[in-house]
Structure 1
């Protein structure tokens, strides 16, 4: 299956930016829909990207986007608001558009532990969308990562900011995660595009080590030179804090996020320490290898963004 042209939904997001940079090095033409062209113009520096302002929930727009494409990658995900529209209805519309336009190959981003019967709407909706893609009759591959870290992330970077507080009440401090490096995730996507061994497969993606939420917050704070007093909250107070944060700007946490953290986001901390399937030959990157660089603005792009923000540009 020769793939030269790919439409990447969610390409303007955190994982999308890393994936586009990798695929453009493979000289793949990339069509990237966006709701706001001006806000996504930074992607135009990537040589093979065609940035298109479009309403991806409109069937006619989807047909226009998929014209001439060989494959589709769907990275769309939200942590708040309308889970059904983003995680269920959009995959259903993308699948239908693929069939109308003769596209057989689709790669889809799900989430670890996604599925029916889970305590959060996020995980249930992710599971429903995943099943729509995998039972569509298309040549599909699904990826189910734990929390993803790397330059531009919304996890460790947020923890580092929270770590500046002298006292930090922390909801669900014992929730478990097995963070996976964003570059490992996008390498798995890129390597799977035309790899027949991945067709029809669902892959859990995790890094080499498990952490509690408290450990992740403490680590991010210490890397950036802070040492907050972290007060771990019990179940009732954790729920209350999540409820109160729904009314604050920034979408720091919601009750559904709290429900998600009731399920440990791990692949198997004890029995299987290297939790990237061998099919790609990727050695999982440890958090400690990379996080200090970008949290302290030591990576080239991070240094540029940090200096630009300080100068007010």
Structure 2
């Protein structure tokens, strides 16, 4: 049987997708009586998925956790879930072995650290499933968090991308496309919670962000799910100005960690800006201080 938290996660996700899907989009003809909800009723979803209302109710409550793949596929099809949402539903509904609460600190493989050093000309960062920064190379630090101590990933309280994005005005100002970046970050945390339901440190992070940032709380309540390894990032860097960089993400599945790489197309003004940032490192102008950031505005 699922825990209360897991049931809430599963039930909440199903309800959020029922609320999102209109009867017309699901192929249901509107009835004569006035609807009290904009989305699908539970009995409508049950009929579309070919399960009983009682079974769907139990599934949402966690009593039916461990549903067959066929049931999950039917629910995903009825709810018009995309592949990332389908997989997220599968993870939430999977039977869970009893897990002891844990807050184990993530460790960086030495080989990954060597890789970051080997690609010194490309901004790179490594984060774990909690979005804690485990390492960055010099250019990655200068690009994303030059106002933060470069040795911070080695300290007891590591920088956290989600916390910085919502609570650090300097980091937030870096992203011209802040809304898009924030939604992707919240979606990644939702999926991490599903994979690590006993991670108390991750739970505390989400709880603190929900209290400290109303924007985070609103995004979290929508339960976004998205899987993508490539983005174009619109940045406004305090030292070298505006640039658009490609952001490629490489997943280290054995460690549940990700390497984020940033690059620009050769011959563009974006490449020139990135080269200027690299030169500033050599001249000792980066990482920048908070005072430099303020003067650059």
Task: Give the TM bin, normalised by the shorter chain.
Answer: under 0.3
Question: Over alpha carbons, which structure has the higher Rg?
Answer: 2
TM-score by length of 2: 0.22
TM-score by length of 1: 0.21
Structure with a larger share of its residues in strand:
1
Structure with a larger share of its residues in helix:
2
